Amino acid sequence: MAAVKETGLGWTTLSVDDSGGSVQAIKNDVTNFTFSTPRGVQDVTGVDKSAFERLLLLADFTITLNGVFDDQAGQAHAVFKTVPSTSVARTVTLAVSGQTLANETLFTDYALTRAQSGELTWTAPGVLSDGTVPTWA
């Protein structure tokens, strides 16, 4: 059977909870993003080895969302403007091609940039908050 390869077009879900815990669909404001589900490793190589020997450790999740400023209710600015003043985990849900990844995330910054050309954009980095292993469903 031939592999079915896909593009990253047409994300069905990109939502982030606001500070009150209400899900907000902000995919229209997000222009690009990166996320990662790395595992830690421990080097356990003995002096009797000629190559590395490692053990897998804890799982993690990180995300950086980038977008265009939109201060309408329920959009990106309304979601992230409370990052500096609240300490709450927010559910981030990503879905594409029937695959969903949802994680409890702490956002660590909400940085706005006004470019020389006049663009007003933002970046919001986040990290896993609750110790639940990131799992695609």
Q: Is residue 54 part of a domain?
A: no
Q: Is residue 55 part of a domain?
A: no
Q: Is residue 117 part of a domain?
A: yes
Q: What DSSP assignment string belongs to 47-91? A: TT-SS--EEEEEE--EEEEEEE---STTSHHHHHTTTTT----EE
Q: Is residue 97 part of a domain?
A: yes
Q: How far apart are CA 85 and CA 30, in angstroms?
A: 22
Q: Is residue 41 part of a domain?
A: no
Tens of pLDDT, residue by residue, the chain (137 residues): 777 898 989 899 999 999 999 999 999 999 999 999 999 999 999 999 999 999 999 999 999 999 999 999 999 999 999 999 999 999 999 999 999 999 999 999 999 999 999 999 999 999 999 999 999 99
The whole-angstrom distance between residue 89's C-alpha and the CA centroid of its chain comes to 12
Q: Is residue 57 part of a domain?
A: no
The pTM for the full model equals: 0.91
Q: Is residue 22 part of a domain?
A: yes
What pLDDT shows up at residue 14? Answer: 98
Helix (H, G, I), strand (E, B) or coil at 107: strand
The whole-angstrom distance between residue 125's C-alpha and the CA centroid of its chain comes to 7
What pLDDT shows up at residue 1? Answer: 72
Place of tokens 């595992």: 39
Domain count, the chain: 1
What pLDDT shows up at residue 3? Answer: 75
- Print the domain residue range for 124: 13-35+65-128
